[in-house]
Amino acid sequence: MIEPRPAPGTTVGKLEAEHAPRRGAPNGDGHGRLAQWFGLRDLVPLSVSSVGPLFSVAATGGVMAAQAGWWTLPAIALLAVPFVISSFVFRLLNHHFPHAGASYHWSARIVGRSVSRYQAWIVILPHFFSIPPIAIPAGTYTLALVAPGTHPPAAVSLAVTLFWIGFAAVPLLLGARPTARITQLFFAIETVSLVAFAALGITSWRRLAVPIHFGRPPVGGILVVAVVAATILDGWEIDSYAAEESRRPRAHPGVGGIVGALGALCFYASLYPLLLDETPIRLLAGSSDPLTA
């Protein structure tokens, strides 16, 4: 005997639809839904770790100091404004239209599919071409840590770089849950390291202080720093692309992005002044850049 089901519009029907199991359940067209594993404690580390505050400071500190000196700080602060505003816009759109396509899906609904296809390429290509600027410094710094003072051949540097690319690809291929767990681990390590560096910098402030000198604003250098800052602040919105894998798709996605954007800004606002105050600009500017060395 087939048990009658409550009408969708009734209170009982709404409660049943709200609490029905959704992990991997088929939708109306017969296709399986994404497994909803992510909670807020998973989405926040995803967003903050995608920004990579500690790695970004190490990879771009010298470049920024060479281009703008102390003007690096107002350049980052100015560029942070549209990113923070965008994070709240993403939160609002996630509340109404949670979707794994995120900005691509929203533009398709609001503007049209032609614009959304163009936007899809804008989203995909930067993520693809950002792999070398991230992986090459990771390989270079790994070799500098393991074998300081040596000059390994190009083949060794390439092998270490490819290792980190493969290492990052493994959890992605394993699925959402391993990716979240590994991201949480690296998020904890990075947060502890940032706090330790900040504490060390604060305790050594008076002993190592360098005179603050802004001078005339280097317009070209500030523009270069703004471009670099855009790359290091990017990634906060990654939790929006996990909206359909969230256990509360209308409540949690977007919150991680806000925390990621504001958290990254707080990291940079704390560490860059310490970095510039304790290390002469000429030494920072003379530090080797893995992408140009």
- What's the pLDDT tens digit per position in 186-226? 888 878 887 887 787 777 766 655 667 777 888 888 888 88
Query: Quick one: pLDDT at residue 11?
Result: 43
The number of folded domains in the chain is 1
Query: Quick one: pLDDT at residue 26?
Result: 38
Other Cβ atoms less than 10 A from the Cβ of 75: the count is 24
Query: Quick one: pLDDT at residue 202?
Result: 75
- Give every residue of the chain whose pLDDT is below 50, as ranges: 1-31, 292
Task: Examine residue 86 and state whether it is found in any structural domain, yes or no.
Answer: yes
Query: Quick one: pLDDT at residue 31?
Result: 43
CA–CA separation, 142 and 163 (whole Å):
11
Task: Examine residue 70 and state whether it is found in any structural domain, yes or no.
Answer: yes
Task: Examine residue 250 and state whether it is found in any structural domain, yes or no.
Answer: yes
Task: Examine residue 74 and state whether it is found in any structural domain, yes or no.
Answer: yes
Task: Examine residue 209 and state whether it is found in any structural domain, yes or no.
Answer: yes
Task: Examine residue 257 and state whether it is found in any structural domain, yes or no.
Answer: yes
Q: Where do we find the tokens 């958290």?
A: 263
Query: Quick one: pLDDT at residue 190?
Result: 79
Tell me, rounded to whole angstroms, the distance of Cα 243 from its chain centroid.
16
Task: Examine residue 208 and state whether it is found in any structural domain, yes or no.
Answer: yes
Residues spanned by the domain of 272: 37-101+176-285
Query: Quick one: pLDDT at residue 90?
Result: 92
CA–CA separation, 252 and 235 (whole Å):
17
Query: Quick one: pLDDT at residue 160?
Result: 93
> The whole model's pTM is what?
0.72
